[in-house]
Structure 1
């Protein structure tokens, strides 16, 4: 089976698929032949051939309704990309309990809700696959990211646990760990800084490649992880970070 045709006949659901990394992932899967549903709060902004479905990953009823709607329309579900998430800034003193609960509810429990709701359908698929979105923040101690890092570290640990549990069902479970990507969220972060140009330069320079990660690069990694042609790739956290986690180049 060729890579470009590996998704033909398969149905994929991508949370947070209306923008940023989620949109890039959804478009990449669709380009490889998948029927792709973008589960998002802003489902109205999704354009064909992608299909928008309203979903708030912060509530179980909304997630279950969205997953059921996908299967009702498509008749099956083969791939789930638990990508939706929100950011958080600050050190350990910066955020109160309410903010911790808000971020963990969306990033960690929201990902768990999505997979939990999809499991009955994924078990019926001959090519069941789950991909979580974690982050370089789960591996590297980034400044002013205590809460965000905690949420992504939890997702990374959950990936391995779910992968083990899903072995008996024939469902592969992996995760992608992007570095700082050139997304609208990062753009808003830069705009809020006192010197956006200097802040962007700092984010670029901390990655060995000297630039931000392109959303398309993350999308291709997800497409590989979820593809039926990657049947022996399981329990993997794939870094797409320009070498930020693993490389230690000399200062230029």
Structure 2
């Protein structure tokens, strides 16, 4: 296997793994030799993903996790330590979007939900992953932000605020823990055809959204996951503090 894509023996924890990026990344890492602990608030969904991965011969454990709950986030890392003795990779992927609203219509309850899941969930995950990685002289963490975290995002102000915060956490973590060989990066996808987007926007809306990208289409989930693999690669040892746009050329305009 190409060393760039060889995750043999690496232990990865992934939140939001019942579908979308989290599910596809878990499948790809398992195929490349990783051992997995995956979680989602959707217990039945994440158990099914784990069973499918296990059927291929990979080592995987699943648990229900509400990332807005610090105890749940700790339990996920604790399970990885109990079963595998370490955590080499942490992927803080779980997140939620919200319906389109003008900024002046965003209420406190909506902001609270966005920050509880999209910001606190990332911070809780990073905190417990880093504590373990400090004991083993290194690791790689990947957070899922958004193009909405790199610039303004009309009609999704609360989501944009939260995803900007994820970038702040990512960069700060990279500065604090680089000397400990802990790499912390983030991806910033443009609209991607995950369930989150298809639930929010019908085909007509998706077509309009695609006009914002020079490539004139939305991303396929597998295209984003390919970049996630590169960023997490054990051979990618000097990249940290980066928030990479996967955007079909949007940021080049």
**Alpha-carbon deviation of 1:126?**
5.1
Aligned length: 241
Q: Does 1:109 align with 2:120?
A: yes
Q: Does 1:231 align with 2:237?
A: yes
Q: How does 1:146-165 map to 2 (within 5 A)?
A: 146-165=157-176
Inter-partner Cα distance in structure 2 for 1:112 and 1:209: 33
Inter-partner Cα distance in structure 2 for 1:212 and 1:125: 39
Matched with 1:41 is 41
Inter-partner Cα distance in structure 1 for 2:162 and 2:64: 23
From 41, 55, 59, the equivalent of 2:69 is 59
Contact 1:21/1:218 (<8 A) preserved: yes
Q: Could you list the structure 1 runs, at least 4 aligned residues long, displaced by more than 6 angstroms after superposition.
A: none
Q: Does 1:94 align with 2:105?
A: yes
From 62, 72, 79, the equivalent of 2:89 is 79
Matched with 1:4 is 5
**Unaligned stretches of 5+ residues in structure 1:** 191-195
**Alpha-carbon deviation of 1:244?**
1.0
Matched with 1:205 is 211
TM-score (norm 2): 0.90
**Alpha-carbon deviation of 1:28?**
2.0
Deviations 1:90-147 (A, max 9, x none): 2222222122111101100110001111222212345500011110111232220100
Inter-partner Cα distance in structure 2 for 1:41 and 1:105: 14
Deviations 1:160-188 (A, max 9, x none): 10000011211011111111001011111
Contact 1:140/1:245 (<8 A) preserved: no
**Alpha-carbon deviation of 1:23?**
1.1
**Partner SS state of residue 251, structure 2:** coil
**Partner SS state of residue 62, structure 2:** strand
Identify, as 1 or 2, the structure richer in helix: 2
**Alpha-carbon deviation of 1:14?**
0.7
Query: Aligned Cα RMSD in Å?
Result: 1.5
Contact 2:178/2:240 (<8 A) preserved: no
Matched with 1:173 is 184
TM-score (norm 1): 0.90
Q: How does 1:118-157 map to 2 (within 5 A)?
A: 118-125=129-136, 127-157=138-168
Contact 1:218/1:240 (<8 A) preserved: yes
